[in-house]
Amino acid sequence: MSETRIAVTSEAAATNTYDIAILGSGYGGLMAALRLGRSRSRLRIALVNARDEFLERVRLQESIVAAVPPRIPSIKEFVAGTNIDFIRGNVTALDADRRRVRIATGTREREIQFEQAICALGSSIDVDEVPGVAEHTYRLEAGEGPRSAAALRERLSGNAGRPVRVVTIGGAETGIEVAGEIKTAWADAEVTMISRWRCGDFKGGRVERAVRTALARLGVTMIDGETVTEVRSSEVITRSGCSIACDICVWSGGLRASPLARAAGLATDPQGRIWVDADLRAISHAHILAVGDAAHPIAPTGAPYRLSAFAALASGTHAADVILAGRANRPSRPFSFSTLGQGIAIGRDGVGFLSYPDDQQSLFIIKGRAARGVRNLFVWFITIVLKLERRFPGAFTWPGRRRVSWQQAKDAMQQVQAA
């Protein structure tokens, strides 16, 4: 095995063997575990996650203003009484060929062996592409790290009442929500958004106008068509040569998947997401499936597959169903789905719209407090879906499960292989 593929050696602690190892317990990983953890399946499942609390990624912007109490405070307690062994630790190595995983748990390391695995390690903000991002920017990250949302909250609170200059990079959903939260909670802050395209341009003209109107009403300055090429301690530099002064910079740029899959030799895209087929199986290692932000489907998926909580839930469920169908010698359908709608929080207000079935804005747009309320309801409902699946395994379903045929999936796979 080459040096770039991290091997799990025999020097680790005694190996435990599982039918299924699920790496990551976000929306997709936890849903897959609950689906597989039904008592009648009798599968031995390992669910590995770095933290015991369930992280709601879609609520991280709220933690800029105040700590967000978790709706599932303990994953270990949540899965107690099922076939799921929760292992709290960081996955440090994956040996895809020998089917082993090394996990750092506290002060020691252990390894587990698996028959099949689901990679659900999600994604994180890419801090390596642009110089200075890692050292000088805050990001929507959980925990108490020096560049986390909690650290940003402390920094902003320490400057309350002062005209602190805040620059947020990124004009899509995350950047919009960051700017809105900061400007609403700290009205004296001078908040500027910078986007390489147009701020708010991610779902067509009507949504863009609604988002920009809400941001302008708060007093957020928007700079369009500028690409940031460097971040310094007190300024950001753009490709056109502009220097924009700032006291605080928040980076909401591109996402990158965990480097674990690429290091293990799995076929991945440039962002580190695993190339998967219509069954969400890795095209290079069929015994490993990928869901949520860790997956990049090659076959059509009905609605466009983008990084979202809903796509993670649907893909996690489908991966579990594929495993159960395979063990029961039942056929499975290709993975597909339809979207329902989307909401963006902008301070105390928001913008919401229907997006059925192909993730494009349709019919009417909801604005203001009503839109924020609908968004909060949907975010709360995601947690309810997980709790219902815990109590009634197999309960979760989603629209658009039959949008893609096997012939369509096979044709797409053949085109990719030919290319």
Domain boundaries of the chain, sorted by first residue: 16-124+256-337+404-414, 127-253
CATH number, domain 16-124+256-337+404-414: 3.50.50.60
Mean per-residue pLDDT, 210-232: 97
pTM here?
Answer: 0.93
Residues pairing with 351 in the sheet: 344, 367
- The Cα–Cα gap between 266 and 289 comes to 11
| Mean pLDDT (the chain, rounded) | 93
According to the model, what pLDDT value does residue 2 have?
A: 41
pLDDT of residue 206: 96
Query: Who's near 304: CB < 8 A, 6+ residues apart?
Result: 358, 359
CATH 3.50.50.60 for domain 127-253, yes or no, is yes
The burial class, CB within 10 Å (0-12 / 13-18 / 19+), for 4 is exposed
Amino acid letter for position 100: R
pLDDT digits (tens, 9 = 90+) for 288-325: 999 999 999 999 999 999 989 999 999 999 999 999 99
Q: Are 166 and 247 in contact (CB under 8 A)?
A: yes
Report the phi/psi class of residue 3: left, alpha or beta, with left for phi > 0 and alpha for psi in -120 to 50: alpha
Report which residue type is found at 375: R
Is residue 12 over pLDDT 50?
A: no
Residue 88 tokens, joined: 């709290």
Same fold, 16-124+256-337+404-414 and 127-253: yes
Cα(261)–Cα(272) distance, integer angstroms: 7
Res 366 pLDDT > 80: yes
Nearest residue to 171 via CA among 121, 225, 122: 225
Strand order in the sheet with 349-354: 341-346, 349-354, 362-367
pLDDT band at 37 (very low <50, low <70, confident <90, very high): confident
Per residue in 101-142, pLDDT (tens digit) is 999 998 889 999 999 999 999 999 999 999 999 999 999 998
